[in-house]
A = this chain, B = another copy of it.
Amino acid sequence: MAYLTLQYSDNLVKYLDFEQICGSLRLIMLDQKIFPEAGVRVRAYPISSYSIADGHSENAFIDMILRIGVGRSEDQKLKTGEMLMMELENNVKKLLKTEYLALALEIIEIDSKFSWKTNPIHKRISAIKKYGKK
């Protein structure tokens, strides 16, 4: 399991395509080769009410939380974090220059004992790999 959630201030929707950003971050996750494909889920949702830093109306944020199962090494987690931030920065390069946008990422581990999954997507993807695309 590798669940990446982005919260963003909705003044960004006129500049950014979050569907596309989710897609590019999903590919970065897969590139790490430490998360099963079927367990990777990236999602983003807008926040309409906010008050940031000095309260300037152009202030904006994208706040990411990645929740993963335990078992990855410290190095793997650090590399994943760095690659995700780098990819997000590449997607918002112009906006960062305005000095009104702040980005954040945090990686949290999920205690497998108190975590449950029901994911038939695994089965579908395995079948595609074995028998070709349906």
Contact = CB atoms under 8 A, between A and B. Distances in A.
Interface residues of A, number: 69
Chain A binding surface, main DSSP class: mixed
B41 A63 contact: yes
A104 B115 contact: yes
B45 A82 contact: no
Contacts of A105: 115-117
Interface of A: 1, 3, 5, 7, 9, 18-19, 21-23, 25-26, 37-45, 47-55, 59, 61, 63, 67, 74, 77-78, 81-82, 85, 89, 96-108, 110-111, 113-121, 123-125, 128
The 10 closest A-B pairs by CB, nearest first: A99-B124, A22-B51, A43-B50, A107-B114, A102-B119, A18-B49, A26-B51, A103-B118, A44-B49, A99-B120
